[in-house]
Chain A
């Protein structure tokens, strides 16, 4: 059974629809909303204790990959797990995202089960540490 543990999630995503989907699907997580990479960095500065980041790729001002590069080079945020959720679904897109430091890549449109499975994997990794 898929159970979401209470955690703090930073959502960096320009679609309001997807923000709402996370709100419904990731209940009872605490969601911190950002609508592009730049705002994502600001929110991360305010909430450095986030457990996981859900990241879109195509966003205005700062793309998801640029955002990922910035947080991976910052020791304070380098260990936060990042899940890329994007419509870019080619193999090279996935490889690029994972190479940039994401721990998982979820293609849109996604099912709730897929999302919870990935978050469950993070939970079990954390439990094993």
Chain B
């Protein structure tokens, strides 16, 4: 068909024959594909916007969570510290119980009166930190109070003697009512006097007049050990003396029986 002669027809012809620019050629050649492409681009753009907005939301949420997490971390840290303090307290208690167990065990580990006395002295020195002390015990035969053991020089009239005749207000009161007493009081060099009791009867006392310098003073927890000594030292001594007496009688009887057999 021949091309029209009017300007419009020329223009149309020009359009038809002249090479179109690259972008217009694509659009013109496949508008459907272009539309699809555009739709895809819009879809992609929408997805990107959604992703970005999601990210913004997440970041906002995270910025709210950070203080919350810090709070939780601080709480956990506090709990950890509390547990650590409690663990250390429990370990300390275990240590104290071990000390009490060992003292009790050792007091009752022997039936030899001399060994029991030595154990009392070891407890006084190694567990209480006593540098100067004395062990007073009732003598059942002559009803006096015998000084069975003395460690170090004691600035008292009874120091170095075989018997305690009375005169120290703290010791006398302790022997009278069987109550643990702490010094210092007037006219007494005693730091602490521990009544030794068996079945509610006071049979003697452990008298401490000086602690090692590095020990300084008796602590609250030493009280448990003093109470333990009061109860167990006396019964251990009592049991060992009864056993020793029975053993002595047995030997005497055996000797007599042997004599009778020989005769």
- B123 contacts the other chain (CB 8 A): yes
A111 at the interface (CB under 8 A from B): yes
Is B248 in contact with chain A by the CB < 8 A criterion? Answer: no
Stretch at the interface among B15-23, B36-44, B100-108: B100-108
Range, interface on chain B: 20 to 34
Instruction: Give bound CA distance, A107 to B126, whole Å.
Output: 9
Contact present for B119 and A108 (CB under 8 Å): no
Would you call B123 and A87 a contact (CB within 8 A)? no
Among the stretches B66-74, B153-161, B210-218, the one at the interface with A is B210-218
Complex-state Cα separation, A69 to B136, whole angstroms: 40
B172 within 8 A of A: no
CA distance A1 to B122 in the complex (A): 30
A89 to B122 Cα, complex, angstroms:
17
**Complex interface: chain B residues within 8 A of A125 (CB):** none
Query: Are the CB atoms of B122 and A15 closer together than 8 Å?
Result: yes
Q: B119 contacts which chain A residues (CB < 8 A)?
A: 16-17
> Which of A24, A87, A113 lies in contact with B126, CB distance below 8 A?
A87
A112 within 8 A of B: yes
A20 touches B213 (CB 8 A): no
With A20-B102, A21-B102, A89-B214: A108-B125 Cβ-Cβ less than 8 Å: yes
Q: Is the CB of A20 within 8 A of B129?
A: no
Known: A17-B122, A87-B212. A112 touches B128 (CB 8 A): no
Do residues B91 and A24 form an inter-chain contact, with CB atoms below 8 A? no
A87 touches B213 (CB 8 A): no
With a cutoff of 8 Å between Cβ atoms, the chain B residues found around residue A15 in the complex are 122, 126
Tell me which residues from 50 to 101 in chain A have a Cβ below 8 Å from any Cβ of chain B: 87, 89-90
B215 CB contacts on chain A under 8 angstroms = 89, 109
Check: B94 CB closer than 8 A to any chain A CB: yes
Contacts of A89 in B (CB 8 A): 212-215
Q: Which residues of B contact A (CB under 8 A)?
A: 87-88, 91-92, 94-95, 98-99, 101-103, 105-106, 119, 122-123, 125-129, 131, 212-215
Task: Offer 19 A-B interface pairs, CB within 8 angstroms, sorted by A.
Answer: A15-B122, A16-B119, A16-B122, A17-B106, A17-B119, A17-B123, A17-B126, A20-B106, A21-B99, A25-B95, A89-B214, A90-B214, A107-B212, A108-B125, A108-B126, A109-B128, A109-B215, A112-B98, A113-B92
By Cβ-Cβ distance, the 5 closest A-B pairs, closest first, are: A112-B95, A89-B214, A17-B122, A109-B129, A20-B102
